[in-house]
A and B are shown apart, each in its own frame.
Chain A
Amino acid sequence: MSEQAAAAGNGNVPFVHVQGVSKWFGDLQVLKQIDLDVSEHNVVCLIGASGSGKSTLLRCLNLLEHVEEGEIVVDGQPLTNSKIDVNALRKKIGIVFQAYNLFPHMTVLQNVTLAPRKALGVQRERADEYARSLLRRIGLEEKADEYPDRLSGGQQQRVAIVRALAMGPKLMLLDEITSALDPQLVSDVLNLVRELAESGMTMIVATHEMGFAREVADKVCFLDAGRILEEGRPEQIFTQPREPRTREFLARVLEAEKLG
């Protein structure tokens, strides 16, 4: 990497650059002219009601959804170029889903080592060793040889995060990863994400956890009906939202949290 490019990674040119991205499911337009820039080592949180397009945007960033219009550039590589090697690109971008999606027929260790071994060609011993060290970090080393159905939801989700991390990604996409968890299991998962943020991982996080977004985000985007209606520093979005829709949404969430 040239010095210029290295400098670019540090904030001049965004690490993730999304411009004018639109997407339709049939007649329904789910993303409308999305523009979003994410600097390296930054955490961007996407907030908004269900169906506002947060998940679809994340899935577009990993090309799990086809982008019909607009441009996405990650680490200087245009994703939306049809000649791009999708598999090579995905090795650099980890995604974690709401429903964990661990492979049920594999042990925890096999879940974590499958992609490094098959997609990166890492030797089994080295892949196992690295996977165990990652599992140790999240306190799940003794579960390495268990099958996912023996783990709690929170444990499964942490394994899913580790599975993505084992590929050494430069960007992590987290898609409402605590939404399916019992409240008492949420904090373990959020702590892990917090650690990742502190270690400088670039992340785009779709979340309903407003407190968490406020704490870890460098930037918060409020999505409404497929549009980024408002974006800014978390303190601004959460204390002085400009848009009435944002205010309305935050008031509703606060109400729900009180009731919960």
Chain B
Amino acid sequence: MHALQQVWHSFFNPHSFTLAMPDIWAGFQINLRIMVIAEVLVLVFALAVAIVRGLPGPAAKPLRALAIAYTDFFRGTPIIIVAFFIGFGLPGLQLGFISTMSIVTYGVITLTLVYTAYVTEVYRAGIESVHASQRAAARSLGLTYSQAMRYVIVPQAVRRVIPPLLNDFVGLQKDTALVSVIGVTEAAAHAQGLSTQLGDFVPYLVAACFFILITIPLARFTDHLVAQRERRERAQAF
């Protein structure tokens, strides 16, 4: 009985819950802001990198190599290390505006760099999944390579990868908590402070609830899209 009571007090104490709520909610606004800005940037940059990686011809080889080096590096490096590099490294450079941005901006840059590498691969898989005959059909009509990409290949590719993109979106939104290590006072950072103050772990639960409140609807929406596609594809098979 005693153990249960202790668990209750450490994790679920309603009093602490109410006390922690306002500060963590304020911190969570920062998570949301980082998430939205980074996600928009990631969606744009990743598509650009994916297209560069697929450019044909020997002339584009250096660009392709650069794109590959980029994705390899940032997919292989833990976010926390990138965060230190950006959050502490850039200000230390004393390079004009690069070194004087807000700490939240460094957080956005960190997440954008890392997630762009992941999402590039998602887009690339989508582009490659569009059958070669679609490109042949587009080119045979006299469309240029970039017109074929823009009007025929990329729209089909993006539709196909929306579920995995949303999946990465969920990952990104959780990882906004990681940038607390460079001093961004977002929800997790607040929770840590409050936990020490109140002497229990309830603030972490509060923070977790906020994250889950966003991720669960996103996950269900993704499931819904996948199911919808499966229904459509089954219908087409007949």
Contacts and interface: CB of A to CB of B under 8 A. Distances in A.
Contacts of B144: 87, 119
A101 B141 contact: no
B41 to A, nearest CB: 25
Contacts of B197: none
A166 to B, nearest CB: 9
Nearest to B155: A105
Given A90-B139, A105-B159, A114-B141, A99 B133 contact: yes
Contacts of A94: 140-141
B142 interface: yes
Contact of B156 (A64, A88, A104, A118): A104
A163 B138 CA distance: 11
B151 interface: yes
Given A105-B155, A105-B156, A118-B147, A87 B142 contact: yes
Contacts, number: 61
Contact of B140 (A64, A105, A118, A120): A64
A163 B141 contact: yes
- Determine which residue in A62, A93, A104, A163 has the highest number of CB atoms from chain B within 10 A of its CB, and name it: A104
B143 A114 contact: yes
A167 interface: yes
A interface residue count range (under 10 / 10 to 19 / 20 to 34 / 35 or more): 20 to 34
B152 interface: yes
Given A97-B133, A103-B134, A105-B159, A62 B151 contact: no
Contacts of A90: 139-142
Interface in B130-189: 133-134, 136-144, 147, 151-152, 155-156, 159
A91 B152 contact: no
Contact of B143 (A101, A102, A119, A149): A119
Interface string B205-216: 000000000000
Contacts of A120: 142
Interface string A123-156: 0000000000000000000000000010000000
A103 B133 CA distance: 10
Nearest to B144: A87
Contacts of B159: 105
9 contacts: A64-B136, A64-B139, A88-B142, A103-B134, A103-B138, A103-B156, A105-B155, A118-B147, A119-B144
Interface of B: 133-134, 136-144, 147, 151-152, 155-156, 159, 236
Given A103-B156, A115-B143, A167-B141, 17 more contacts: A59-B136, A62-B140, A64-B136, A64-B140, A87-B142, A88-B142, A94-B140, A101-B134, A101-B136, A103-B137, A103-B138, A103-B152, A114-B143, A119-B141, A119-B143, A119-B147, A164-B140
Closest 3 interchain pairs by CB? A115-B141, A91-B142, A101-B137
